[in-house]
Amino acid sequence: MREALKTDAEEVLLEAPVDERGLLERLAGLHPRQRDLFLASRVAVGDAYVRPGSPLQGLEAGVDIISPISGG
């Protein structure tokens, strides 16, 4: 994802609380060419995946977008 977007970080203004899906949809809207990648990703805050459907909190410190993983 870092290579696809050619950046390590991006600042996004959120006008209302969002959950994981809402944030990924927002990012997908900002980067339509990477839409599928964002929608297959997960959001992590403080080194932990957020629970799907939970409102995102602690966003001031930033979140990590975890694109599809392939370890092992």
Partner 1 sequence: MADQSHPAGEAVSLSQAPLDAAAMRAAASDPGAGAILVFEGTVRDHSEGLTGVVALEYEAHGSMALKILAGIVADARAAFPLRKAAVAHRLGRVELGEPTIVIAVSAAHRDEAYRASRYLIDRIKHEAPIWKREICADGTSAWSRGCTAEVHR
Stretch that binds partner 1, among 10-18, 27-35, 60-68 (CB under 8 A): 60-68
Stretch that binds partner 1, among 7-15, 26-34, 43-51, 55-63 (CB under 8 A): 43-51
Report the C-alpha gap between 23 and 11 in whole angstroms: 12
Identify whether the C-beta of residue 24 lies closer than 8 Å to the C-beta of residue 43.
yes
14 binding partner 1? (CB under 8 A)? no
Q: What is the dihedral of CA 35, 55, 53, 37, to 10 degrees?
A: 20
12 binding partner 1? (CB under 8 A)? no
When the beta carbons of 13 and 69 are compared against partner 1, the nearer one is 69
Give the number of other Cβ atoms within 10 Å of residue 67's Cβ: 14
What is the contact surface with partner 1 in residues (CB under 8 A)?
A: 3, 40-42, 44, 47-52, 64, 66-72
